[in-house]
Amino acid sequence: MADYTNEFLQDTFMKLLEEQLEKAKTQEEADEIIKKFEEVDLDKIFKDMYTRMANDTTGYMRDTMYEQVMLFRAEEQEFLSIQEQKWNKAFVASESMYIMVIEAAQSYVEHVNNLPQDQLQESSHVFTAMQHIHGRAMQQFLEIITLMKNGFADGAYARWRSMYELAIISSFIKEHGEPVAKAFIQSSNTEDRYEWARTSGVFPTIKRFISFNDIQKNCDINSTVWRRQYDLANKIVHASPQGTFARLSNMTPKDVIPSGRSDFGITTPAEHSAISLAQITTMFLTIHPSGDSLVAIKYIQNWIDIIREIYFKTHDLIFPEEEKLWDESMTSYEDEVNKGN
Protein backbone atom coordinates (compact mmCIF):
# COMPACT_ATOMS: atom_id res chain seq x y z
CA MET A 1 0.00 0.00 0.00
CA ALA A 2 1.30 3.44 -0.92
CA ASP A 3 2.57 5.84 1.71
CA TYR A 4 0.46 8.81 0.67
CA THR A 5 1.97 11.25 3.13
CA ASN A 6 5.54 10.65 2.01
CA GLU A 7 4.51 10.65 -1.66
CA PHE A 8 2.70 13.95 -1.19
CA LEU A 9 5.68 15.61 0.52
CA GLN A 10 8.17 14.29 -2.02
CA ASP A 11 5.97 15.32 -4.95
CA THR A 12 5.52 18.77 -3.42
CA PHE A 13 9.28 19.17 -2.97
CA MET A 14 10.05 18.03 -6.54
CA LYS A 15 7.34 20.25 -7.98
CA LEU A 16 8.79 23.27 -6.16
CA LEU A 17 12.26 22.40 -7.44
CA GLU A 18 10.99 22.08 -11.02
CA GLU A 19 9.20 25.44 -10.80
CA GLN A 20 12.42 27.14 -9.65
CA LEU A 21 14.50 25.46 -12.36
CA GLU A 22 12.06 26.64 -15.02
CA LYS A 23 12.83 30.22 -13.94
CA ALA A 24 16.59 29.75 -14.39
CA LYS A 25 17.94 31.46 -17.51
CA THR A 26 21.38 29.82 -17.50
CA GLN A 27 22.91 26.53 -16.42
CA GLU A 28 24.80 28.36 -13.72
CA GLU A 29 21.53 29.63 -12.20
CA ALA A 30 20.07 26.13 -12.41
CA ASP A 31 23.12 24.67 -10.68
CA GLU A 32 22.85 27.29 -7.94
CA ILE A 33 19.16 26.46 -7.38
CA ILE A 34 19.95 22.73 -7.15
CA LYS A 35 22.78 23.47 -4.72
CA LYS A 36 20.45 25.49 -2.46
CA PHE A 37 17.86 22.73 -2.51
CA GLU A 38 20.52 20.17 -1.59
CA GLU A 39 21.47 22.28 1.42
CA VAL A 40 17.90 22.31 2.70
CA ASP A 41 17.30 20.27 5.90
CA LEU A 42 14.60 18.00 4.50
CA ASP A 43 14.24 16.06 7.74
CA LYS A 44 13.28 19.21 9.63
CA ILE A 45 10.97 20.41 6.86
CA PHE A 46 9.26 17.01 6.62
CA LYS A 47 8.93 16.81 10.40
CA ASP A 48 7.31 20.24 10.52
CA MET A 49 4.99 19.30 7.68
CA TYR A 50 4.06 15.99 9.37
CA THR A 51 3.14 17.94 12.48
CA ARG A 52 1.09 20.44 10.51
CA MET A 53 -0.71 17.75 8.55
CA ALA A 54 -1.47 15.83 11.76
CA ASN A 55 -2.82 18.96 13.41
CA ASP A 56 -4.92 19.82 10.36
CA THR A 57 -6.28 16.27 10.26
CA THR A 58 -7.07 16.40 13.98
CA GLY A 59 -8.98 19.64 13.43
CA TYR A 60 -10.87 18.17 10.48
CA MET A 61 -11.76 15.03 12.44
CA ARG A 62 -12.90 17.15 15.38
CA ASP A 63 -15.12 19.22 13.09
CA THR A 64 -16.62 16.18 11.36
CA MET A 65 -16.67 13.62 14.18
CA TYR A 66 -20.46 13.78 14.62
CA GLU A 67 -21.08 13.05 10.95
CA GLN A 68 -18.53 10.21 10.99
CA VAL A 69 -19.98 8.67 14.14
CA MET A 70 -23.52 8.92 12.77
CA LEU A 71 -22.40 6.88 9.75
CA PHE A 72 -20.69 4.39 12.07
CA ARG A 73 -23.82 4.12 14.18
CA ALA A 74 -25.95 3.57 11.11
CA GLU A 75 -23.74 0.61 10.17
CA GLU A 76 -23.91 -0.57 13.78
CA GLN A 77 -27.71 -0.46 13.77
CA GLU A 78 -27.77 -2.36 10.50
CA PHE A 79 -25.64 -5.13 12.04
CA LEU A 80 -27.75 -5.23 15.21
CA SER A 81 -30.92 -5.46 13.15
CA ILE A 82 -29.57 -8.38 11.12
CA GLN A 83 -28.17 -10.02 14.25
CA GLU A 84 -31.59 -9.81 15.87
CA GLN A 85 -33.27 -11.29 12.81
CA LYS A 86 -30.87 -14.22 12.77
CA TRP A 87 -30.62 -14.99 16.46
CA ASN A 88 -33.89 -13.57 17.84
CA LYS A 89 -35.32 -16.89 19.03
CA ALA A 90 -32.05 -17.79 20.72
CA PHE A 91 -31.72 -14.43 22.48
CA VAL A 92 -35.31 -14.76 23.68
CA ALA A 93 -34.41 -18.12 25.23
CA SER A 94 -31.49 -16.57 27.14
CA GLU A 95 -33.50 -13.57 28.29
CA SER A 96 -36.32 -15.88 29.37
CA MET A 97 -33.85 -17.75 31.56
CA TYR A 98 -32.71 -14.49 33.12
CA ILE A 99 -36.33 -13.57 33.90
CA MET A 100 -37.27 -16.96 35.33
CA VAL A 101 -34.14 -17.11 37.50
CA ILE A 102 -34.54 -13.63 38.94
CA GLU A 103 -38.22 -14.26 39.68
CA ALA A 104 -37.38 -17.58 41.34
CA ALA A 105 -34.66 -15.88 43.42
CA GLN A 106 -37.01 -13.10 44.53
CA SER A 107 -39.67 -15.63 45.56
CA TYR A 108 -37.04 -17.69 47.37
CA VAL A 109 -35.73 -14.69 49.32
CA GLU A 110 -39.29 -13.88 50.42
CA HIS A 111 -39.62 -17.47 51.65
CA VAL A 112 -36.33 -17.25 53.55
CA ASN A 113 -37.28 -13.94 55.15
CA ASN A 114 -40.30 -15.64 56.72
CA LEU A 115 -38.30 -18.48 58.32
CA PRO A 116 -37.65 -18.54 62.09
CA GLN A 117 -34.55 -16.61 63.16
CA ASP A 118 -32.92 -19.58 64.83
CA GLN A 119 -33.16 -21.53 61.58
CA LEU A 120 -31.64 -18.63 59.64
CA GLN A 121 -28.74 -18.27 62.07
CA GLU A 122 -27.51 -21.76 61.24
CA SER A 123 -26.43 -20.63 57.78
CA SER A 124 -26.66 -16.83 57.85
CA HIS A 125 -23.17 -16.24 56.44
CA VAL A 126 -23.57 -18.88 53.75
CA PHE A 127 -26.87 -17.32 52.69
CA THR A 128 -25.42 -13.79 52.62
CA ALA A 129 -22.37 -14.83 50.62
CA MET A 130 -24.39 -16.89 48.18
CA GLN A 131 -27.03 -14.19 47.73
CA HIS A 132 -24.36 -11.70 46.68
CA ILE A 133 -22.61 -14.23 44.45
CA HIS A 134 -25.91 -15.13 42.81
CA GLY A 135 -26.72 -11.48 42.18
CA ARG A 136 -23.30 -10.99 40.60
CA ALA A 137 -23.81 -14.06 38.43
CA MET A 138 -27.18 -12.73 37.30
CA GLN A 139 -25.59 -9.45 36.26
CA GLN A 140 -22.82 -11.23 34.38
CA PHE A 141 -25.35 -13.46 32.61
CA LEU A 142 -27.14 -10.31 31.40
CA GLU A 143 -23.80 -8.84 30.31
CA ILE A 144 -23.16 -11.98 28.27
CA ILE A 145 -26.54 -11.67 26.54
CA THR A 146 -25.79 -8.02 25.74
CA LEU A 147 -22.36 -8.89 24.32
CA MET A 148 -23.83 -11.70 22.20
CA LYS A 149 -26.51 -9.39 20.83
CA ASN A 150 -23.78 -6.94 19.86
CA GLY A 151 -21.70 -9.60 18.12
CA PHE A 152 -18.89 -9.96 20.66
CA ALA A 153 -18.58 -13.72 21.22
CA ASP A 154 -15.09 -13.52 22.71
CA GLY A 155 -16.10 -10.81 25.16
CA ALA A 156 -19.13 -12.90 26.14
CA TYR A 157 -16.93 -15.93 26.75
CA ALA A 158 -14.55 -13.85 28.82
CA ARG A 159 -17.49 -12.94 31.05
CA TRP A 160 -18.47 -16.62 31.25
CA ARG A 161 -15.01 -17.29 32.69
CA SER A 162 -15.97 -15.14 35.65
CA MET A 163 -19.31 -16.97 35.99
CA TYR A 164 -17.50 -20.30 36.05
CA GLU A 165 -15.21 -19.04 38.81
CA LEU A 166 -18.23 -17.88 40.79
CA ALA A 167 -19.71 -21.37 40.44
CA ILE A 168 -16.50 -22.88 41.83
CA ILE A 169 -16.43 -20.42 44.74
CA SER A 170 -20.12 -21.08 45.44
CA SER A 171 -19.54 -24.81 45.57
CA PHE A 172 -16.59 -24.42 47.94
CA ILE A 173 -18.51 -22.13 50.29
CA LYS A 174 -21.61 -24.33 50.22
CA GLU A 175 -19.55 -27.43 51.01
CA HIS A 176 -17.48 -25.96 53.85
CA GLY A 177 -20.16 -23.88 55.50
CA GLU A 178 -20.35 -20.99 57.91
CA PRO A 179 -16.69 -20.42 58.89
CA VAL A 180 -15.62 -20.22 55.24
CA ALA A 181 -18.58 -18.06 54.25
CA LYS A 182 -17.85 -15.67 57.12
CA ALA A 183 -14.19 -15.44 56.11
CA PHE A 184 -15.23 -14.82 52.50
CA ILE A 185 -17.48 -11.93 53.53
CA GLN A 186 -14.92 -10.39 55.87
CA SER A 187 -12.27 -10.54 53.14
CA SER A 188 -14.33 -8.17 51.00
CA ASN A 189 -12.72 -5.24 52.82
CA THR A 190 -9.16 -6.53 52.38
CA GLU A 191 -6.74 -7.31 49.55
CA ASP A 192 -7.14 -11.03 50.23
CA ARG A 193 -8.32 -12.92 47.14
CA TYR A 194 -8.33 -16.55 48.25
CA GLU A 195 -6.76 -16.76 51.72
CA TRP A 196 -10.26 -16.87 53.21
CA ALA A 197 -10.50 -20.43 51.87
CA ARG A 198 -7.81 -21.54 54.35
CA THR A 199 -10.53 -21.45 57.01
CA SER A 200 -11.89 -24.66 55.51
CA GLY A 201 -8.98 -26.63 56.96
CA VAL A 202 -8.49 -28.65 53.77
CA PHE A 203 -5.16 -27.03 52.87
CA PRO A 204 -1.87 -27.89 54.61
CA THR A 205 -0.53 -25.21 56.92
CA ILE A 206 2.80 -25.23 55.10
CA LYS A 207 1.07 -24.01 51.93
CA ARG A 208 2.11 -20.40 51.58
CA PHE A 209 -0.63 -19.12 49.26
CA ILE A 210 -4.09 -20.35 48.30
CA SER A 211 -4.90 -20.08 44.61
CA PHE A 212 -8.13 -20.38 42.66
CA ASN A 213 -6.87 -23.69 41.31
CA ASP A 214 -6.52 -24.97 44.88
CA ILE A 215 -10.16 -24.13 45.54
CA GLN A 216 -11.18 -25.61 42.20
CA LYS A 217 -9.65 -28.95 43.19
CA ASN A 218 -11.54 -28.99 46.50
CA CYS A 219 -15.15 -28.37 45.53
CA ASP A 220 -18.08 -30.49 44.36
CA ILE A 221 -18.04 -29.22 40.76
CA ASN A 222 -16.17 -31.59 38.46
CA SER A 223 -13.55 -29.14 37.22
CA THR A 224 -11.91 -31.88 35.15
CA VAL A 225 -14.91 -31.86 32.82
CA TRP A 226 -14.58 -28.09 32.41
CA ARG A 227 -10.80 -27.94 32.13
CA ARG A 228 -10.67 -27.52 28.34
CA GLN A 229 -13.40 -24.86 28.28
CA TYR A 230 -11.90 -22.91 31.17
CA ASP A 231 -8.47 -23.10 29.56
CA LEU A 232 -9.94 -21.70 26.33
CA ALA A 233 -11.62 -18.87 28.25
CA ASN A 234 -8.29 -18.04 29.94
CA LYS A 235 -6.58 -17.87 26.55
CA ILE A 236 -9.28 -15.53 25.27
CA VAL A 237 -9.00 -13.25 28.30
CA HIS A 238 -5.20 -13.06 28.26
CA ALA A 239 -2.81 -11.93 25.53
CA SER A 240 -2.13 -15.48 24.36
CA PRO A 241 -1.37 -16.49 20.75
CA GLN A 242 -4.29 -18.92 20.87
CA GLY A 243 -6.70 -16.22 22.02
CA THR A 244 -5.33 -13.92 19.32
CA PHE A 245 -5.40 -16.25 16.31
CA ALA A 246 -8.22 -18.64 17.24
CA ARG A 247 -10.98 -16.35 18.37
CA LEU A 248 -14.55 -17.61 18.74
CA SER A 249 -15.83 -14.86 16.46
CA ASN A 250 -13.64 -15.93 13.54
CA MET A 251 -15.14 -18.37 11.03
CA THR A 252 -13.09 -20.92 9.13
CA PRO A 253 -10.97 -20.47 7.16
CA LYS A 254 -9.42 -18.04 9.61
CA ASP A 255 -8.06 -15.59 7.06
CA VAL A 256 -9.92 -12.58 8.46
CA ILE A 257 -8.87 -10.53 11.48
CA PRO A 258 -12.01 -9.63 13.49
CA SER A 259 -11.79 -6.03 14.67
CA GLY A 260 -15.46 -5.41 15.38
CA ARG A 261 -18.76 -7.22 15.53
CA SER A 262 -19.34 -10.74 14.25
CA ASP A 263 -22.41 -12.98 14.17
CA PHE A 264 -20.28 -16.09 14.65
CA GLY A 265 -19.26 -17.99 17.79
CA ILE A 266 -21.98 -17.02 20.25
CA THR A 267 -23.32 -20.53 20.84
CA THR A 268 -20.46 -21.42 23.22
CA PRO A 269 -20.89 -18.54 25.70
CA ALA A 270 -24.68 -18.93 25.45
CA GLU A 271 -24.64 -22.59 26.44
CA HIS A 272 -21.91 -22.35 29.08
CA SER A 273 -23.36 -19.29 30.79
CA ALA A 274 -26.74 -21.02 31.07
CA ILE A 275 -25.10 -24.02 32.71
CA SER A 276 -23.12 -21.88 35.17
CA LEU A 277 -26.17 -19.81 36.07
CA ALA A 278 -28.17 -22.97 36.72
CA GLN A 279 -25.38 -24.36 38.92
CA ILE A 280 -25.09 -21.20 41.04
CA THR A 281 -28.87 -20.84 41.29
CA THR A 282 -29.25 -24.47 42.38
CA MET A 283 -26.69 -23.99 45.16
CA PHE A 284 -28.38 -20.77 46.30
CA LEU A 285 -31.94 -22.11 46.31
CA THR A 286 -31.00 -25.20 48.32
CA ILE A 287 -29.59 -23.39 51.36
CA HIS A 288 -33.16 -23.26 52.72
CA PRO A 289 -35.02 -25.52 50.28
CA SER A 290 -38.77 -25.42 49.78
CA GLY A 291 -41.20 -27.05 47.41
CA ASP A 292 -41.25 -23.92 45.27
CA SER A 293 -37.47 -23.66 45.10
CA LEU A 294 -37.09 -27.35 44.18
CA VAL A 295 -39.58 -26.93 41.34
CA ALA A 296 -37.73 -23.78 40.21
CA ILE A 297 -34.41 -25.64 40.20
CA LYS A 298 -35.88 -28.33 37.96
CA TYR A 299 -37.35 -25.99 35.34
CA ILE A 300 -34.21 -23.83 35.33
CA GLN A 301 -32.10 -26.92 34.69
CA ASN A 302 -34.56 -27.99 31.97
CA TRP A 303 -34.00 -24.64 30.31
CA ILE A 304 -30.37 -25.49 29.58
CA ASP A 305 -31.60 -28.08 27.08
CA ILE A 306 -33.87 -25.50 25.46
CA ILE A 307 -31.07 -22.96 25.13
CA ARG A 308 -28.66 -25.55 23.75
CA GLU A 309 -31.15 -26.79 21.16
CA ILE A 310 -32.27 -23.36 19.96
CA TYR A 311 -28.74 -21.92 19.71
CA PHE A 312 -27.28 -24.99 18.04
CA LYS A 313 -30.09 -25.30 15.49
CA THR A 314 -29.94 -21.57 14.76
CA HIS A 315 -26.19 -21.80 14.19
CA ASP A 316 -26.65 -24.73 11.79
CA LEU A 317 -29.27 -22.76 9.85
CA ILE A 318 -27.21 -19.57 9.59
CA PHE A 319 -23.90 -21.29 8.83
CA PRO A 320 -24.76 -24.35 6.68
CA GLU A 321 -21.15 -24.79 5.53
CA GLU A 322 -19.78 -24.99 9.07
CA GLU A 323 -19.63 -28.15 11.17
CA LYS A 324 -23.08 -29.01 12.53
CA LEU A 325 -23.57 -28.38 16.24
CA TRP A 326 -26.95 -30.03 16.74
CA ASP A 327 -27.15 -33.78 16.62
CA GLU A 328 -30.47 -35.59 16.80
CA SER A 329 -29.00 -37.80 19.51
CA MET A 330 -28.75 -34.73 21.78
CA THR A 331 -31.31 -34.16 24.51
CA SER A 332 -34.34 -32.27 23.29
CA TYR A 333 -36.68 -30.94 25.95
CA GLU A 334 -39.72 -31.71 23.82
CA ASP A 335 -38.56 -35.33 23.41
CA GLU A 336 -38.11 -35.64 27.17
CA VAL A 337 -41.62 -34.29 27.77
CA ASN A 338 -43.10 -36.70 25.24
CA LYS A 339 -41.32 -39.60 26.94
CA GLY A 340 -42.77 -38.53 30.25
CA ASN A 341 -46.27 -38.48 28.81
Summarize pLDDT for 40-78 with one digit per residue, the tens.
666 676 677 778 888 998 999 999 999 999 999 999 999
Which of 16-30, 47-61, 87-101, 178-192 shows the lowest mean pLDDT across its residues? Answer: 16-30
Task: Please enumerate in sequence order all residues whose Cβ is within 8 A of that of 7, keeping only pairs 6 or more positions apart, or say none.
Answer: none
Q: Is the pLDDT of residue 339 over 60?
A: no
Q: Is the pLDDT of residue 245 over 80?
A: yes
Between 255 and 290, residue with greater pLDDT? 290
Q: Which band of pLDDT confidence, cut at 50, 70 and 90, is reported for residue 333? A: low
Contact 109, 131 (CB under 8 A): yes
Q: What is the mean pLDDT of the chain?
A: 89
Q: Is the pLDDT of residue 178 over 60?
A: yes
State the average pLDDT over residues 272-288.
97
Which pLDDT belongs to residue 313? 96
Q: Which band of pLDDT confidence, cut at 50, 70 and 90, is reported for residue 1? A: very low
Which pLDDT belongs to residue 73? 93
Which of 4-18, 97-111, 246-260 shows the lowest mean pLDDT across its residues? Answer: 4-18
Q: Sort 159 into a burial class: Cβ within 10 Å, 0-12 / 13-18 / 19+.
A: buried
Q: Give tens-digit pLDDT for 129-165.
A: 999 999 999 999 999 999 999 999 999 999 999 999 9
Highest mean pLDDT among 43-52, 88-97, 316-325: 88-97
Which pLDDT belongs to residue 48? 77
Between 228 and 45, residue with greater pLDDT? 228
Q: Which band of pLDDT confidence, cut at 50, 70 and 90, is reported for residue 34? A: confident
Q: What is the CA radius of gyration of the chain?
A: 31
Q: Is the pLDDT of residue 126 over 80?
A: yes
State the average pLDDT over residues 11-31.
74
Whole-angstrom distance between the N-terminal and C-terminal Cα of the chain? 67
Which pLDDT belongs to residue 79? 94
